[in-house]
Amino acid sequence: FDISGIYDDTLIDPKEQEEMQSNFDSTSVDEILRIYENNIVEIKEKFKESSESSSIQGGEGVNNLLERIKKTPEIGAP
């Protein structure tokens, strides 16, 4: 996980480092977990909305297939 939103060890400016460290130190483990749980939920919802799934019964359309094959048999290797 990218944790730079909570703790960014690439900061160079001492004031920014101090502020970031102070915020990090005052954040509880539960709050950090909640932040990442929310991120995961957002990702999950994003892909859930954009993906469509459909299902069919295994034998769906078999009667039509059998009738079609009776009228025009498939030709090929046995």
pTM as predicted: 0.50
Half-sphere exposure of 23 (CA within 13 A, CB side): 12
5, 35 contact by CB (below 8 A): yes
Q: Tens place of pLDDT for every residue, the chain, 78 residues?
A: 788 888 898 989 999 999 999 999 999 999 999 999 998 998 888 887 655 666 667 788 888 888 888 888 777 776
Around Cβ 39, how many Cβ atoms within 10 Å?
13
